[in-house]
Structures are given as structure tokens and as C-alpha cells.
Structure 1
Amino acid sequence: MKCERTKYCSRFILVTVILFAFFVSGCAKKNVPLKATITVAEVENAQKQWADMLIEVGKIHSEKGDYKAAAQNLINQLYAYNYEKGVVLFKPTKAKIHPYRKTVEGALSYFVGENPEFSEDTGFALAPWVDIKFKNDEMYMHGDMAIAMGEYFFTDAKGNMAKVEYTFGYIKDANGALKIVLHHSSLPYQG
């Protein structure tokens, strides 16, 4: 009897493995997309929130307020450093010595400077910027992730405008808020 059960269990496992393999290979061949849980409007709202909060950091700095706390709040609210795996792929525009910011401290230094470990940082958020506009070239939605790519335009208090290229990746947290898991910025190629 025991041999009989083992034979059926082995067959059941074998059939299950084969069916799973067919299912996976069938989905891969058909390229079945995951239903997107993030909308274009949510990404655009997250971009506006990022721009508004970055402008606020510079404004608070100009008014001699606690700009570091404002920058820390921007990072805590909008980036996924403290969410799930805590991985954020952050490649800021004006970073050469330390081009990748894997930690909250590295991101904070980029925005406000004053960190001897990141001596190249002068505080990007402190310009101050008075306007930031995103111009999305394209967005890709897949399951619980969205990626947006395009150009954003930074206008400073003197009216000077800088065009920067970006790619941002977002995930949705348990409360439905988007968190940045990818932030790559670069100046346009000049050949």
C-alpha cells in the first residue's frame, strides 16, 4: 500500500511540474503582460510632488529655515530607501566622484551638500529653483512598477533654465503612494 501511495505521489508531483512548465513557457511565448496597477495620472502626480518638494527645499534654505529637514522629508516621502528591500538606483545629474547614491545619506548630500564623504556635492536643491516642469517622452507600466523617461526643465530665481534628461522608476507602497526606486538624471549629450 505504501508503495502504491508513493507511486501516485510521484506521478502527481511529476504532472504538476510538467503543467507548471507548460504554463510558464506558454506565458513566455505569448508575452502575457501583467496588469498595470499604476496609472499615468499617478506618475504625473508623483512628478509634480517631487518638483514641488524640491522647490520648497530651496525656498526654505533662502529663508534660513531647516532645509535639511525638508530635504529629508522629500527623501522619506518619495524615495523607497526605507521601503521593503530599501534599494534605490539613484544616479544624480551632477555627481562624478560618487555617481551612484545607494543610501539616504548619499541622496541627502546630493540635495543639500555639507557632507564630507561627498565633497563634490554643493546642494542641488538649494539653487533655489522656482519652477520645475517634467516633459515625459514615454512611460512603461508593468504590474506594480512604472518607468517614465523624458526631460525636465529647472528654472532658477534669475530665470535661467537648465534642461536635464531623466528616467524615473516607481513602485506603489502598501498605502498606495508611489515610491521612487530608480532616479537617473543626465545633461543632454553635447558632441
Structure 2
Amino acid sequence: MTGVRLANYLAIHPAITEAEVLQAQQTWADGLVAIGKLAGDATAAKAAAQVLVRRLYNYGEGKVLFKPTKAAHDQFRETFEQALSYFVGGDHHEDHGFALHPWAAVRFENNSLFLDVDSAGAMGNYYFTDAKTGAETKVEFTFAYRRASDGRLVIFLHHSSLPYEAEH
């Protein structure tokens, strides 16, 4: 973008800030924990997951590149319905409802953030605390965000995987 075009763009769409990315991560973590608390009520859990996916992912405005942690045979979730299935079960035989586990807490540790005018990225580890045992599971993540038409941040890239464990 040229200087004038960039200034005009920023007047309408402010650049994404670190605080916004951190808030988006916290909202995602809180939403996942809230869904797990509803695990005994499938209808309520699905409704909460629908809100989370609609609010936090870009499916309503475009593509999402989503590779969840516990996906082996159908590794990618290209649609809203596929993402919903991953979080609360349903469409895929390997989807048992990751958000239904339940988790007591989710904590992000960013290795690095990338902030640009109209997008942002975060890479690091997040830690899922099992609500039943208190055990913490470390998972690697990459999230990329863009500003939706209503101004909120939405995820357009979400890659998650368990850390590699070398066998020596």
C-alpha cells in the first residue's frame, strides 16, 4: 500500500495490537473451558461451541486453515461444521469433542507474535489443564488473525500439534 492508501485504510481499520491478540487468545481459552463445563448437556455444549466458532473463526467471511491437535485421518477442518464437530463431536468418527474433555484451564505461552496492519500471528505452546486430574498437557500452536468486517479479530489459521518426542 502507498502511504496515502495506508493512512486511509488505518483511519477505517486500526492496526491489530498485541493486546487484541492476547485478548483473542484468552477469549478462546475461556470459551473452551466453558464448553467443557457443559459436557453433561449436549445441546448446551453444542450451542456454546457454535458461538465460539462463529465468534472466533473466519468461517463466516472466508477460508480458515485449521489443523487441530487430535486429527489423524481427516487432518483438516475446512468448514464451520467440521470445526464444530472437532470441538463437540459429530461429523467425523475420530471427533470425540476436544472441548468436552473437560479442561479446567488453558494457558497460552507465546514464543513470538507477528503484528501487521491487517493481520497478526502467534506461535508458541498452550497448556491444557485436565479438570479431573489437574494434569497439564503441552501443545504447540500457530494462530493467525485478521480483522473481521465488524472489527473483531478472527482466526484464519489454526495449527495445533503435540510436541515431538524423540525415541533414543
Instruction: Count the aligned residue pairs.
Output: 157
Gaps of at least 5 residues in structure 2 are 3-9
Residue 63 of structure 1 and its aligned partner are, at CA, apart by 5.5
What displacement does 1:182 show?
0.4
Which residue of the partner structure matches residue 146 of structure 1? 120
Match of 2:86 in 1: 110
In structure 2, give the amino acid aligned to 1:154.
F
- For 1:47, the equivalent position in structure 2 comes to 25
Contact 1:62 1:128 in 2 (8 A): no
Does the 8 Å contact 1:134/1:151 carry over to 2? yes
Give, in angstroms, the shift of residue 160 of structure 1: 1.2
What secondary structure sits across from 2:60 in the alignment?
coil
SS in 1 for 2:59: coil
Letter in 2 for 1:76: R
Q: Quick one: which of 68, 73, 96 aligns to 2:46?
A: 68
Runs of 4+ in 1 over 3 A off after TM superposition: 62-65
User: Displacement of 1:46 after TM fit?
Assistant: 0.2
Give the structure 2 partner of residue 92 of structure 1: 68
CA distance in 2, matches of 1:88, 1:181: 4
Whether 1:120 and 2:91 are equivalent positions in the alignment is no
Higher helix share: 1
Write the distance in 2 (CA, Å) between the matches of 1:128 and 1:63.
13
Match of 2:160 in 1: 185
Distance 2:41 2:154 in 1: 29
Whole-angstrom distance in 2 between the partners of 1:190 and 1:39: 34
Q: Which runs of 5+ in 1 are unaligned?
A: 1-22, 25-34
Name which one, 1 or 2, has greater alpha-carbon Rg: 1
Correspondent of 2:34 among 47, 56, 74: 56
TM-score normalised to structure 1 length? 0.77
C-alpha deviation, 1:173, in angstroms: 1.4
| RMSD of equivalent CA atoms | 2.0
The separation in 2 between residues aligned to 1:68 and 1:58, in whole angstroms, is 10
For residue 61 of structure 1, report the CA deviation from its aligned partner: 1.5
